[in-house]
Structure 1
Amino acid sequence: MNIEERKIMVKVCKMYYYESWTQEKIAAQIGVSRPIISKMLQRARDEGILEIVIHDDDQEISTLEKEMEQVFQLRRVLVVPTKDLNKELLSRVVGKAAAQFVLKLINNGDRIGVSWGNTLYHMVREFPLEKKENIKIVPLVGGTGNHRNEMHSNQIAYELSKKLGGSCNTLYAPAIVETEELKQQISQLPNIAEVLREGEQIDLALVGIGNPFSMSTMERSGYLKEQVIAELKAMNIAGDINSRFINQDGTVNSHPINNKVIGLGLEQLQKIKTVVGMAFGLHKIDCILAALSGRFIHMLITDEATARSILEQKKAH
Protein backbone atom coordinates (compact mmCIF):
# COMPACT_ATOMS: atom_id res chain seq x y z
CA MET A 1 0.00 0.00 0.00
CA ASN A 2 1.47 3.35 -1.02
CA ILE A 3 1.16 6.61 0.96
CA GLU A 4 -1.65 7.96 -1.24
CA GLU A 5 -3.74 4.78 -0.84
CA ARG A 6 -3.25 4.90 2.92
CA LYS A 7 -4.37 8.57 3.02
CA ILE A 8 -7.58 7.76 1.15
CA MET A 9 -8.24 4.77 3.41
CA VAL A 10 -7.82 6.89 6.56
CA LYS A 11 -10.12 9.55 5.06
CA VAL A 12 -12.79 6.91 4.29
CA CYS A 13 -12.56 5.52 7.86
CA LYS A 14 -13.01 8.98 9.36
CA MET A 15 -15.99 9.77 7.15
CA TYR A 16 -17.64 6.45 7.99
CA TYR A 17 -16.99 6.24 11.74
CA TYR A 18 -16.52 9.86 12.85
CA GLU A 19 -18.99 11.64 10.58
CA SER A 20 -21.52 8.79 10.17
CA TRP A 21 -21.54 9.00 6.38
CA THR A 22 -23.11 6.04 4.57
CA GLN A 23 -20.95 3.92 2.30
CA GLU A 24 -23.02 5.15 -0.67
CA LYS A 25 -22.35 8.79 0.19
CA ILE A 26 -18.62 8.17 0.68
CA ALA A 27 -18.45 6.32 -2.64
CA ALA A 28 -20.07 9.27 -4.43
CA GLN A 29 -17.67 11.70 -2.74
CA ILE A 30 -14.54 9.66 -3.53
CA GLY A 31 -15.74 8.70 -7.01
CA VAL A 32 -15.79 4.91 -6.65
CA SER A 33 -18.42 2.18 -6.20
CA ARG A 34 -19.93 1.27 -2.81
CA PRO A 35 -18.34 -2.26 -2.76
CA ILE A 36 -14.90 -0.63 -3.06
CA ILE A 37 -15.62 1.46 0.06
CA SER A 38 -16.71 -1.69 1.88
CA LYS A 39 -13.45 -3.43 0.87
CA MET A 40 -11.43 -0.38 1.99
CA LEU A 41 -13.01 -0.48 5.46
CA GLN A 42 -12.32 -4.20 5.75
CA ARG A 43 -8.72 -3.75 4.60
CA ALA A 44 -8.24 -0.91 7.10
CA ARG A 45 -9.24 -3.36 9.86
CA ASP A 46 -6.95 -6.07 8.47
CA GLU A 47 -3.98 -3.68 8.19
CA GLY A 48 -4.46 -2.33 11.73
CA ILE A 49 -5.23 1.19 10.49
CA LEU A 50 -8.66 0.90 12.09
CA GLU A 51 -9.32 -0.54 15.54
CA ILE A 52 -12.84 -0.74 16.93
CA VAL A 53 -13.06 -0.48 20.71
CA ILE A 54 -16.33 -1.15 22.50
CA HIS A 55 -16.54 0.06 26.09
CA ASP A 56 -18.82 -2.59 27.47
CA ASP A 57 -21.18 -1.47 30.21
CA ASP A 58 -23.64 -3.93 28.72
CA GLN A 59 -24.39 -5.78 31.94
CA GLU A 60 -25.54 -2.66 33.78
CA ILE A 61 -27.69 -1.50 30.85
CA SER A 62 -29.07 -4.99 30.30
CA THR A 63 -30.14 -5.17 33.96
CA LEU A 64 -31.82 -1.77 33.64
CA GLU A 65 -33.71 -2.89 30.52
CA LYS A 66 -34.90 -6.10 32.19
CA GLU A 67 -36.09 -4.20 35.27
CA MET A 68 -38.04 -1.78 33.06
CA GLU A 69 -39.61 -4.71 31.20
CA GLN A 70 -40.66 -6.42 34.44
CA VAL A 71 -41.93 -3.35 36.28
CA PHE A 72 -44.00 -2.06 33.34
CA GLN A 73 -44.81 -5.43 31.73
CA LEU A 74 -43.22 -4.49 28.42
CA ARG A 75 -42.09 -6.95 25.75
CA ARG A 76 -38.84 -5.13 25.05
CA VAL A 77 -37.01 -2.05 26.31
CA LEU A 78 -34.01 -0.44 24.64
CA VAL A 79 -31.99 1.78 26.99
CA VAL A 80 -29.35 3.80 25.15
CA PRO A 81 -26.17 4.62 27.14
CA THR A 82 -25.75 8.38 26.84
CA LYS A 83 -23.36 9.45 29.61
CA ASP A 84 -21.28 12.56 28.89
CA LEU A 85 -22.89 13.27 25.51
CA ASN A 86 -23.84 16.78 24.40
CA LYS A 87 -27.36 17.44 23.14
CA GLU A 88 -26.58 17.13 19.43
CA LEU A 89 -24.63 13.89 19.85
CA LEU A 90 -27.29 12.53 22.21
CA SER A 91 -29.97 12.84 19.52
CA ARG A 92 -27.75 11.11 16.96
CA VAL A 93 -26.78 8.25 19.29
CA VAL A 94 -30.38 7.60 20.36
CA GLY A 95 -31.51 7.85 16.73
CA LYS A 96 -28.91 5.35 15.56
CA ALA A 97 -29.70 2.87 18.36
CA ALA A 98 -33.44 3.23 17.72
CA ALA A 99 -32.91 2.63 13.99
CA GLN A 100 -31.02 -0.63 14.60
CA PHE A 101 -33.63 -1.77 17.13
CA VAL A 102 -36.57 -1.04 14.80
CA LEU A 103 -34.85 -2.60 11.78
CA LYS A 104 -34.78 -5.97 13.57
CA LEU A 105 -38.55 -5.75 14.15
CA ILE A 106 -39.39 -5.29 10.46
CA ASN A 107 -40.28 -8.28 8.31
CA ASN A 108 -40.95 -8.49 4.58
CA GLY A 109 -44.55 -7.56 3.81
CA ASP A 110 -45.05 -5.49 6.99
CA ARG A 111 -47.26 -2.42 7.12
CA ILE A 112 -45.63 0.13 9.42
CA GLY A 113 -47.37 3.15 10.92
CA VAL A 114 -45.43 6.24 12.01
CA SER A 115 -46.44 9.25 14.07
CA TRP A 116 -44.15 12.26 14.33
CA GLY A 117 -41.68 14.09 16.53
CA ASN A 118 -38.03 14.62 17.34
CA THR A 119 -37.08 11.04 18.23
CA LEU A 120 -38.71 9.54 15.11
CA TYR A 121 -37.00 12.19 12.98
CA HIS A 122 -33.58 11.22 14.33
CA MET A 123 -34.39 7.50 14.08
CA VAL A 124 -35.25 7.80 10.37
CA ARG A 125 -32.27 10.08 9.75
CA GLU A 126 -29.93 7.38 11.10
CA PHE A 127 -31.80 4.48 9.49
CA PRO A 128 -29.60 2.30 7.26
CA LEU A 129 -30.43 1.59 3.64
CA GLU A 130 -31.86 -1.92 4.04
CA LYS A 131 -34.23 -3.07 1.33
CA LYS A 132 -37.18 -5.18 2.46
CA GLU A 133 -39.84 -6.76 0.28
CA ASN A 134 -43.36 -5.29 0.01
CA ILE A 135 -43.01 -2.81 2.86
CA LYS A 136 -45.61 -0.07 3.22
CA ILE A 137 -45.33 2.94 5.52
CA VAL A 138 -48.50 4.68 6.72
CA PRO A 139 -48.61 8.09 8.46
CA LEU A 140 -50.74 7.82 11.60
CA VAL A 141 -51.51 11.51 12.01
CA GLY A 142 -51.91 14.43 9.62
CA GLY A 143 -49.16 16.96 9.16
CA THR A 144 -49.06 19.90 6.80
CA GLY A 145 -47.76 23.41 7.16
CA ASN A 146 -44.64 25.51 6.92
CA HIS A 147 -43.00 24.73 10.26
CA ARG A 148 -40.78 21.74 11.17
CA ASN A 149 -41.94 19.77 8.12
CA GLU A 150 -39.08 17.31 8.53
CA MET A 151 -40.70 16.04 11.75
CA HIS A 152 -44.19 15.57 10.31
CA SER A 153 -45.66 12.11 9.94
CA ASN A 154 -45.88 12.32 6.13
CA GLN A 155 -42.21 13.25 5.77
CA ILE A 156 -41.10 10.57 8.22
CA ALA A 157 -43.18 7.99 6.31
CA TYR A 158 -41.64 9.09 3.01
CA GLU A 159 -38.04 9.04 4.30
CA LEU A 160 -38.46 5.64 5.96
CA SER A 161 -40.01 4.15 2.82
CA LYS A 162 -36.96 5.30 0.84
CA LYS A 163 -34.58 3.65 3.31
CA LEU A 164 -36.51 0.36 3.17
CA GLY A 165 -37.21 0.42 -0.56
CA GLY A 166 -40.95 0.37 0.10
CA SER A 167 -44.00 2.50 -0.63
CA CYS A 168 -45.82 5.01 1.54
CA ASN A 169 -49.16 6.73 1.91
CA THR A 170 -49.62 10.46 2.40
CA LEU A 171 -52.22 11.90 4.74
CA TYR A 172 -53.10 15.21 3.06
CA ALA A 173 -54.49 16.90 6.16
CA PRO A 174 -53.33 18.96 9.14
CA ALA A 175 -52.72 17.16 12.44
CA ILE A 176 -55.29 19.36 14.20
CA VAL A 177 -58.11 21.46 12.71
CA GLU A 178 -60.25 24.29 14.12
CA THR A 179 -63.51 22.44 14.78
CA GLU A 180 -64.84 18.92 15.30
CA GLU A 181 -67.16 19.38 12.32
CA LEU A 182 -64.23 20.17 10.05
CA LYS A 183 -62.35 17.14 11.38
CA GLN A 184 -65.35 14.92 10.47
CA GLN A 185 -65.64 16.42 7.00
CA ILE A 186 -61.93 16.04 6.21
CA SER A 187 -61.77 12.51 7.65
CA GLN A 188 -64.58 11.40 5.32
CA LEU A 189 -62.81 12.56 2.14
CA PRO A 190 -62.01 9.40 0.12
CA ASN A 191 -58.20 9.74 0.08
CA ILE A 192 -58.03 10.66 3.78
CA ALA A 193 -60.47 7.93 4.84
CA GLU A 194 -58.45 5.32 2.93
CA VAL A 195 -55.20 6.23 4.71
CA LEU A 196 -56.95 6.27 8.10
CA ARG A 197 -58.35 2.78 7.38
CA GLU A 198 -54.89 1.55 6.40
CA GLY A 199 -53.59 2.92 9.69
CA GLU A 200 -55.87 0.53 11.55
CA GLN A 201 -54.43 -2.47 9.66
CA ILE A 202 -50.72 -1.95 10.39
CA ASP A 203 -48.45 -4.61 11.90
CA LEU A 204 -46.08 -2.22 13.67
CA ALA A 205 -46.57 1.33 15.01
CA LEU A 206 -43.66 3.68 15.75
CA VAL A 207 -44.86 6.55 17.92
CA GLY A 208 -43.27 9.47 19.71
CA ILE A 209 -44.30 10.41 23.23
CA GLY A 210 -44.56 14.17 23.58
CA ASN A 211 -44.41 16.79 26.31
CA PRO A 212 -46.72 19.67 25.32
CA PHE A 213 -45.03 22.05 27.75
CA SER A 214 -41.32 21.51 27.04
CA MET A 215 -39.67 21.34 23.60
CA SER A 216 -43.03 20.36 22.11
CA THR A 217 -43.06 19.42 18.43
CA MET A 218 -46.75 20.31 18.32
CA GLU A 219 -46.08 23.80 19.66
CA ARG A 220 -43.10 24.36 17.35
CA SER A 221 -45.23 23.21 14.40
CA GLY A 222 -47.84 25.83 15.22
CA TYR A 223 -50.60 23.47 16.40
CA LEU A 224 -50.63 24.56 20.05
CA LYS A 225 -51.49 28.15 20.86
CA GLU A 226 -50.75 29.80 24.21
CA GLN A 227 -54.36 29.64 25.38
CA VAL A 228 -54.63 25.91 24.69
CA ILE A 229 -51.29 25.25 26.42
CA ALA A 230 -52.56 27.15 29.49
CA GLU A 231 -55.78 25.08 29.46
CA LEU A 232 -53.82 21.82 29.16
CA LYS A 233 -51.60 22.85 32.09
CA ALA A 234 -54.66 23.61 34.19
CA MET A 235 -55.97 20.10 33.43
CA ASN A 236 -52.65 18.51 34.52
CA ILE A 237 -52.01 16.88 31.15
CA ALA A 238 -49.05 14.49 31.32
CA GLY A 239 -48.19 14.08 27.63
CA ASP A 240 -49.37 13.22 24.15
CA ILE A 241 -49.26 10.22 21.83
CA ASN A 242 -50.20 10.56 18.19
CA SER A 243 -51.29 14.14 19.01
CA ARG A 244 -53.83 12.94 21.61
CA PHE A 245 -53.38 14.24 25.15
CA ILE A 246 -53.37 11.86 28.10
CA ASN A 247 -53.56 12.21 31.88
CA GLN A 248 -50.96 10.90 34.31
CA ASP A 249 -53.00 7.74 34.91
CA GLY A 250 -52.98 7.03 31.18
CA THR A 251 -56.60 7.95 30.49
CA VAL A 252 -57.43 10.11 27.47
CA ASN A 253 -57.98 13.72 28.50
CA SER A 254 -61.35 15.40 27.90
CA HIS A 255 -59.97 18.63 26.36
CA PRO A 256 -61.85 19.39 23.07
CA ILE A 257 -58.57 19.48 21.12
CA ASN A 258 -58.47 15.67 21.24
CA ASN A 259 -61.61 15.61 19.08
CA LYS A 260 -60.02 17.80 16.41
CA VAL A 261 -57.08 15.53 15.56
CA ILE A 262 -56.96 13.86 12.15
CA GLY A 263 -55.25 10.54 12.67
CA LEU A 264 -55.38 7.16 14.36
CA GLY A 265 -57.18 7.36 17.72
CA LEU A 266 -55.70 5.89 20.88
CA GLU A 267 -58.40 3.22 21.07
CA GLN A 268 -57.35 2.02 17.63
CA LEU A 269 -53.68 2.28 18.57
CA GLN A 270 -54.27 -0.12 21.46
CA LYS A 271 -55.48 -2.73 18.97
CA ILE A 272 -52.21 -2.72 16.98
CA LYS A 273 -50.12 -5.85 17.49
CA THR A 274 -46.83 -4.07 18.24
CA VAL A 275 -46.45 -0.43 19.29
CA VAL A 276 -42.97 0.99 19.91
CA GLY A 277 -42.87 4.22 21.93
CA MET A 278 -39.84 6.50 21.60
CA ALA A 279 -38.84 9.39 23.85
CA PHE A 280 -35.65 10.57 25.51
CA GLY A 281 -34.69 13.35 27.89
CA LEU A 282 -35.62 14.03 31.51
CA HIS A 283 -38.47 16.34 30.40
CA LYS A 284 -40.21 13.20 29.07
CA ILE A 285 -40.38 11.26 32.37
CA ASP A 286 -44.03 12.06 33.21
CA CYS A 287 -45.06 11.61 29.57
CA ILE A 288 -43.53 8.14 29.37
CA LEU A 289 -45.01 7.11 32.71
CA ALA A 290 -48.46 8.19 31.49
CA ALA A 291 -48.05 6.21 28.25
CA LEU A 292 -47.00 3.17 30.26
CA SER A 293 -49.93 3.59 32.66
CA GLY A 294 -52.35 3.68 29.71
CA ARG A 295 -50.68 0.58 28.20
CA PHE A 296 -50.44 2.28 24.82
CA ILE A 297 -47.02 0.79 24.02
CA HIS A 298 -45.50 -2.70 24.04
CA MET A 299 -41.87 -1.60 23.64
CA LEU A 300 -39.95 1.48 24.74
CA ILE A 301 -36.83 3.21 23.46
CA THR A 302 -35.26 5.80 25.78
CA ASP A 303 -31.94 6.94 27.21
CA GLU A 304 -30.20 5.71 30.35
CA ALA A 305 -30.78 8.75 32.60
CA THR A 306 -34.48 8.87 31.72
CA ALA A 307 -34.93 5.13 32.30
CA ARG A 308 -33.34 5.36 35.75
CA SER A 309 -35.46 8.37 36.70
CA ILE A 310 -38.65 6.62 35.53
CA LEU A 311 -37.90 3.63 37.75
CA GLU A 312 -37.07 5.86 40.72
CA GLN A 313 -40.30 7.79 40.32
CA LYS A 314 -42.31 4.59 39.97
CA LYS A 315 -40.76 3.14 43.15
CA ALA A 316 -41.40 6.40 45.03
CA HIS A 317 -45.11 5.98 44.37
Structure 2
Amino acid sequence: MAVVRERRQLNLRLPLPSEHRSRFPPPLPPSAPAPAAPSSTAISAADLEKLQVLGHGNGGTVYKVRHKQTSAVYALKVVHGDSDPAVRRQILREASILRRTDSPHVIKCHGVFDLPGGDIAFCMQYMDMGTLETLLRNGVVFTESLLSKLCRQILTGLEYLHSHKIIHRDLKPSNILVDQKMEIKISDFGVSKILQRTLDPCNSYVGTCAYMSPERFDPDSFGSKSYDVYAGDIWSLGLTLLELYVGHFPYLAPGQRPDWATLMCAICFGEPPALPEGTSGDFRSFVECCLQKDSSKRWSATQLLAHPFVSGVDLQPSA
Protein backbone atom coordinates (compact mmCIF):
# COMPACT_ATOMS: atom_id res chain seq x y z
CA MET A 1 0.00 0.00 0.00
CA ALA A 2 1.35 3.39 -0.91
CA VAL A 3 2.24 5.66 1.98
CA VAL A 4 0.69 9.12 1.88
CA ARG A 5 3.41 11.66 2.24
CA GLU A 6 3.45 15.31 3.16
CA ARG A 7 2.49 17.48 0.21
CA ARG A 8 5.22 19.44 -1.39
CA GLN A 9 5.58 21.67 -4.40
CA LEU A 10 7.00 19.75 -7.34
CA ASN A 11 8.99 21.34 -10.11
CA LEU A 12 7.35 19.49 -13.02
CA ARG A 13 7.61 22.07 -15.77
CA LEU A 14 8.31 20.46 -19.11
CA PRO A 15 11.31 22.07 -20.81
CA LEU A 16 10.77 24.07 -23.95
CA PRO A 17 12.09 22.63 -27.22
CA SER A 18 14.80 25.27 -27.29
CA GLU A 19 15.95 24.10 -23.86
CA HIS A 20 16.15 20.53 -25.08
CA ARG A 21 18.22 21.40 -28.09
CA SER A 22 20.73 23.54 -26.26
CA ARG A 23 21.68 20.52 -24.16
CA PHE A 24 22.63 18.35 -27.11
CA PRO A 25 26.35 17.85 -27.76
CA PRO A 26 27.49 18.87 -31.25
CA PRO A 27 26.65 16.02 -33.65
CA LEU A 28 29.25 14.16 -35.62
CA PRO A 29 29.09 14.71 -39.38
CA PRO A 30 27.21 11.95 -41.23
CA SER A 31 30.37 11.02 -43.08
CA ALA A 32 32.40 10.30 -39.93
CA PRO A 33 33.99 6.84 -40.07
CA ALA A 34 32.09 4.01 -38.41
CA PRO A 35 33.52 0.82 -36.90
CA ALA A 36 34.57 -1.68 -39.51
CA ALA A 37 32.57 -4.86 -40.05
CA PRO A 38 34.09 -8.21 -39.19
CA SER A 39 34.97 -8.70 -42.86
CA SER A 40 37.79 -6.84 -44.51
CA THR A 41 35.35 -4.83 -46.66
CA ALA A 42 33.31 -1.95 -45.28
CA ILE A 43 29.54 -2.45 -45.46
CA SER A 44 27.43 -0.17 -47.64
CA ALA A 45 23.68 -0.03 -48.24
CA ALA A 46 24.13 -1.59 -51.69
CA ASP A 47 25.74 -4.66 -50.09
CA LEU A 48 22.64 -5.54 -48.07
CA GLU A 49 19.57 -7.52 -49.08
CA LYS A 50 16.40 -7.06 -47.02
CA LEU A 51 14.91 -10.32 -45.76
CA GLN A 52 12.07 -9.26 -43.47
CA VAL A 53 10.78 -6.53 -41.16
CA LEU A 54 11.71 -7.12 -37.54
CA GLY A 55 9.82 -4.22 -36.01
CA HIS A 56 8.75 -0.61 -36.06
CA GLY A 57 9.14 2.21 -33.57
CA ASN A 58 11.11 5.28 -32.51
CA GLY A 59 10.57 6.90 -35.90
CA GLY A 60 11.98 4.07 -37.97
CA THR A 61 11.94 0.43 -39.04
CA VAL A 62 14.29 -2.46 -38.28
CA TYR A 63 14.95 -5.05 -40.99
CA LYS A 64 16.69 -8.39 -41.02
CA VAL A 65 19.23 -8.15 -43.84
CA ARG A 66 21.88 -10.31 -45.43
CA HIS A 67 25.25 -9.26 -46.79
CA LYS A 68 25.24 -10.28 -50.45
CA GLN A 69 28.90 -11.28 -50.58
CA THR A 70 29.45 -12.95 -47.21
CA SER A 71 25.86 -14.08 -46.40
CA ALA A 72 26.34 -12.62 -42.92
CA VAL A 73 23.05 -11.59 -41.28
CA TYR A 74 22.57 -8.18 -39.66
CA ALA A 75 19.80 -5.97 -38.33
CA LEU A 76 19.38 -2.76 -40.33
CA LYS A 77 17.80 0.06 -38.34
CA VAL A 78 16.49 2.71 -40.73
CA VAL A 79 15.60 5.96 -38.97
CA HIS A 80 13.56 8.59 -40.78
CA GLY A 81 15.76 11.68 -40.97
CA ASP A 82 12.99 14.22 -41.48
CA SER A 83 13.46 17.96 -41.77
CA ASP A 84 13.46 18.57 -38.00
CA PRO A 85 17.05 19.43 -37.02
CA ALA A 86 16.46 18.10 -33.49
CA VAL A 87 15.48 14.68 -34.84
CA ARG A 88 18.60 14.50 -36.97
CA ARG A 89 20.76 15.55 -34.02
CA GLN A 90 19.23 12.74 -31.96
CA ILE A 91 19.98 10.23 -34.72
CA LEU A 92 23.56 11.41 -35.04
CA ARG A 93 23.98 11.32 -31.26
CA GLU A 94 23.04 7.64 -31.35
CA ALA A 95 25.60 7.10 -34.11
CA SER A 96 28.21 8.88 -32.00
CA ILE A 97 27.55 6.59 -29.03
CA LEU A 98 27.55 3.43 -31.11
CA ARG A 99 30.91 4.33 -32.60
CA ARG A 100 32.40 4.75 -29.11
CA THR A 101 31.23 1.49 -27.54
CA ASP A 102 32.99 -1.89 -27.48
CA SER A 103 31.41 -4.25 -24.96
CA PRO A 104 30.10 -7.83 -25.26
CA HIS A 105 26.86 -6.64 -23.66
CA VAL A 106 26.28 -3.51 -25.75
CA ILE A 107 24.96 -3.92 -29.29
CA LYS A 108 27.67 -3.72 -31.95
CA CYS A 109 27.37 -1.35 -34.90
CA HIS A 110 29.03 -2.34 -38.19
CA GLY A 111 28.28 0.81 -40.13
CA VAL A 112 26.24 4.02 -40.33
CA PHE A 113 25.31 5.49 -43.70
CA ASP A 114 22.86 7.85 -45.40
CA LEU A 115 20.01 6.59 -47.57
CA PRO A 116 18.14 8.41 -50.36
CA GLY A 117 15.49 10.77 -48.98
CA GLY A 118 17.45 11.74 -45.88
CA ASP A 119 17.03 8.51 -43.90
CA ILE A 120 19.95 7.19 -41.85
CA ALA A 121 20.70 3.47 -41.54
CA PHE A 122 22.54 1.62 -38.79
CA CYS A 123 23.91 -1.81 -39.69
CA MET A 124 23.72 -3.62 -36.36
CA GLN A 125 24.55 -6.97 -34.86
CA TYR A 126 21.57 -9.33 -35.32
CA MET A 127 20.01 -10.90 -32.22
CA ASP A 128 17.76 -13.79 -33.24
CA MET A 129 15.32 -13.78 -30.29
CA GLY A 130 14.37 -10.12 -30.43
CA THR A 131 13.93 -8.23 -27.17
CA LEU A 132 13.10 -9.19 -23.60
CA GLU A 133 9.71 -7.54 -24.16
CA THR A 134 9.15 -9.90 -27.09
CA LEU A 135 9.90 -12.92 -24.91
CA LEU A 136 7.56 -11.62 -22.19
CA ARG A 137 4.72 -11.16 -24.69
CA ASN A 138 5.34 -14.67 -26.01
CA GLY A 139 4.82 -16.20 -22.59
CA VAL A 140 8.39 -16.85 -21.48
CA VAL A 141 8.55 -17.34 -17.70
CA PHE A 142 11.39 -15.34 -16.17
CA THR A 143 12.52 -17.29 -13.13
CA GLU A 144 14.91 -15.87 -10.54
CA SER A 145 17.68 -18.04 -11.95
CA LEU A 146 17.16 -16.73 -15.48
CA LEU A 147 16.83 -13.13 -14.30
CA SER A 148 20.06 -13.33 -12.31
CA LYS A 149 21.93 -14.42 -15.46
CA LEU A 150 20.32 -11.72 -17.59
CA CYS A 151 20.80 -9.10 -14.90
CA ARG A 152 24.52 -9.74 -14.54
CA GLN A 153 24.94 -9.20 -18.28
CA ILE A 154 22.91 -5.98 -18.20
CA LEU A 155 24.94 -4.72 -15.25
CA THR A 156 28.19 -5.54 -17.02
CA GLY A 157 26.99 -3.50 -19.98
CA LEU A 158 25.86 -0.63 -17.76
CA GLU A 159 29.14 -0.63 -15.85
CA TYR A 160 30.97 -0.31 -19.18
CA LEU A 161 28.71 2.53 -20.37
CA HIS A 162 28.91 4.43 -17.09
CA SER A 163 32.69 4.06 -16.95
CA HIS A 164 32.77 5.74 -20.37
CA LYS A 165 30.46 8.53 -19.16
CA ILE A 166 27.46 7.31 -21.15
CA ILE A 167 23.98 7.34 -19.61
CA HIS A 168 21.44 5.21 -21.43
CA ARG A 169 18.32 6.97 -20.05
CA ASP A 170 15.83 4.60 -21.72
CA LEU A 171 16.60 1.17 -20.31
CA LYS A 172 13.54 -1.10 -20.52
CA PRO A 173 12.65 -4.61 -21.77
CA SER A 174 12.12 -3.45 -25.36
CA ASN A 175 15.66 -2.00 -25.49
CA ILE A 176 17.44 -5.16 -24.35
CA LEU A 177 18.13 -7.63 -27.17
CA VAL A 178 18.59 -11.37 -26.66
CA ASP A 179 19.70 -14.40 -28.66
CA GLN A 180 18.99 -18.13 -28.38
CA LYS A 181 21.81 -18.55 -25.85
CA MET A 182 20.08 -15.95 -23.64
CA GLU A 183 22.97 -13.57 -24.13
CA ILE A 184 21.88 -9.95 -24.04
CA LYS A 185 22.91 -6.68 -25.65
CA ILE A 186 21.81 -3.23 -24.49
CA SER A 187 20.51 -1.29 -27.49
CA ASP A 188 18.75 1.88 -28.65
CA PHE A 189 20.77 4.89 -27.57
CA GLY A 190 18.57 7.45 -29.30
CA VAL A 191 17.97 9.35 -26.06
CA SER A 192 21.28 8.70 -24.35
CA LYS A 193 23.82 11.38 -23.67
CA ILE A 194 27.58 11.28 -23.64
CA LEU A 195 28.57 13.40 -20.69
CA GLN A 196 31.04 16.14 -21.32
CA ARG A 197 33.38 17.68 -18.75
CA THR A 198 30.45 19.08 -16.80
CA LEU A 199 28.31 16.30 -15.31
CA ASP A 200 24.86 17.87 -15.53
CA PRO A 201 21.82 16.22 -13.92
CA CYS A 202 20.26 14.91 -17.15
CA ASN A 203 16.80 15.83 -15.90
CA SER A 204 15.27 16.56 -19.30
CA TYR A 205 12.02 14.79 -20.22
CA VAL A 206 13.19 12.32 -22.83
CA GLY A 207 12.91 8.57 -23.01
CA THR A 208 10.01 6.55 -21.65
CA CYS A 209 8.52 8.23 -18.58
CA ALA A 210 7.27 4.88 -17.21
CA TYR A 211 10.84 3.92 -16.38
CA MET A 212 12.02 7.36 -15.27
CA SER A 213 13.46 7.67 -11.78
CA PRO A 214 11.96 10.05 -9.19
CA GLU A 215 14.81 12.54 -9.54
CA ARG A 216 14.18 12.86 -13.27
CA PHE A 217 10.57 13.84 -12.57
CA ASP A 218 11.50 16.10 -9.66
CA PRO A 219 15.25 16.71 -9.26
CA ASP A 220 14.73 19.30 -6.50
CA SER A 221 13.06 16.79 -4.16
CA PHE A 222 14.81 13.53 -5.00
CA GLY A 223 18.18 14.64 -6.30
CA SER A 224 20.93 16.83 -4.99
CA LYS A 225 23.73 18.94 -6.37
CA SER A 226 26.06 15.96 -6.14
CA TYR A 227 23.72 13.08 -6.93
CA ASP A 228 24.91 10.26 -9.18
CA VAL A 229 23.72 11.03 -12.72
CA TYR A 230 23.98 7.34 -13.63
CA ALA A 231 21.52 6.27 -10.92
CA GLY A 232 18.53 6.70 -13.22
CA ASP A 233 19.67 3.69 -15.27
CA ILE A 234 19.76 1.59 -12.09
CA TRP A 235 16.17 2.58 -11.23
CA SER A 236 15.11 1.53 -14.74
CA LEU A 237 16.92 -1.80 -14.28
CA GLY A 238 14.97 -2.48 -11.08
CA LEU A 239 11.64 -1.80 -12.78
CA THR A 240 12.68 -3.95 -15.75
CA LEU A 241 13.44 -6.93 -13.48
CA LEU A 242 10.14 -6.51 -11.67
CA GLU A 243 8.19 -6.30 -14.92
CA LEU A 244 9.79 -9.44 -16.31
CA TYR A 245 9.14 -11.36 -13.09
CA VAL A 246 5.50 -10.35 -12.48
CA GLY A 247 4.57 -10.18 -16.17
CA HIS A 248 3.37 -6.58 -16.35
CA PHE A 249 4.61 -3.08 -15.61
CA PRO A 250 4.81 -3.05 -11.79
CA TYR A 251 3.30 0.39 -11.15
CA LEU A 252 0.09 -0.46 -13.03
CA ALA A 253 -2.51 -3.20 -12.99
CA PRO A 254 -2.25 -5.77 -15.81
CA GLY A 255 -3.61 -4.25 -19.01
CA GLN A 256 -3.82 -0.70 -17.63
CA ARG A 257 -2.71 2.00 -20.05
CA PRO A 258 -0.19 4.42 -18.53
CA ASP A 259 -0.36 8.18 -18.73
CA TRP A 260 2.18 10.76 -17.66
CA ALA A 261 0.23 12.14 -14.69
CA THR A 262 -0.58 8.71 -13.23
CA LEU A 263 3.00 7.57 -13.53
CA MET A 264 4.40 10.78 -12.08
CA CYS A 265 2.14 10.53 -9.02
CA ALA A 266 2.89 6.85 -8.48
CA ILE A 267 6.65 7.25 -8.82
CA CYS A 268 7.02 10.50 -6.87
CA PHE A 269 4.37 10.04 -4.13
CA GLY A 270 3.99 6.28 -3.79
CA GLU A 271 6.32 3.69 -2.38
CA PRO A 272 8.46 1.76 -4.87
CA PRO A 273 6.85 -1.51 -6.02
CA ALA A 274 8.06 -4.68 -4.37
CA LEU A 275 8.35 -8.31 -5.35
CA PRO A 276 5.50 -10.66 -4.40
CA GLU A 277 5.74 -13.09 -1.51
CA GLY A 278 7.73 -16.24 -2.13
CA THR A 279 10.73 -14.64 -3.80
CA SER A 280 14.18 -15.09 -2.33
CA GLY A 281 15.79 -12.67 0.06
CA ASP A 282 18.64 -11.99 -2.38
CA PHE A 283 16.24 -11.08 -5.17
CA ARG A 284 14.22 -8.82 -2.88
CA SER A 285 17.36 -7.12 -1.60
CA PHE A 286 18.70 -6.57 -5.10
CA VAL A 287 15.51 -4.90 -6.33
CA GLU A 288 15.39 -2.73 -3.21
CA CYS A 289 18.96 -1.57 -3.90
CA CYS A 290 17.83 -0.50 -7.38
CA LEU A 291 14.56 1.16 -6.37
CA GLN A 292 15.72 3.56 -3.66
CA LYS A 293 13.78 6.80 -4.23
CA ASP A 294 16.70 8.77 -2.81
CA SER A 295 19.16 8.53 -5.69
CA SER A 296 22.15 8.87 -3.36
CA LYS A 297 21.16 5.58 -1.68
CA ARG A 298 20.81 3.66 -4.95
CA TRP A 299 23.62 1.21 -5.62
CA SER A 300 25.90 1.69 -8.62
CA ALA A 301 26.36 -0.91 -11.36
CA THR A 302 29.75 -1.83 -9.90
CA GLN A 303 28.30 -2.30 -6.40
CA LEU A 304 25.39 -4.36 -7.74
CA LEU A 305 27.76 -6.72 -9.57
CA ALA A 306 29.00 -7.78 -6.12
CA HIS A 307 25.45 -8.39 -4.82
CA PRO A 308 24.69 -12.06 -3.95
CA PHE A 309 21.81 -12.14 -6.47
CA VAL A 310 24.25 -11.88 -9.40
CA SER A 311 27.78 -12.30 -8.02
CA GLY A 312 27.80 -16.09 -8.43
CA VAL A 313 26.60 -16.12 -12.03
CA ASP A 314 29.07 -17.57 -14.51
CA LEU A 315 28.88 -15.77 -17.85
CA GLN A 316 31.49 -17.94 -19.53
CA PRO A 317 30.05 -20.08 -22.36
CA SER A 318 29.72 -23.74 -21.50
CA ALA A 319 32.01 -26.21 -23.23
**TM-score bracket for the superposition, by shorter chain length:** under 0.3
TM-score, normalisation: structure 2: 0.27
**Greater C-alpha Rg:** 1
Higher helix content, 1 or 2: 1
TM-score, normalisation: structure 1: 0.27
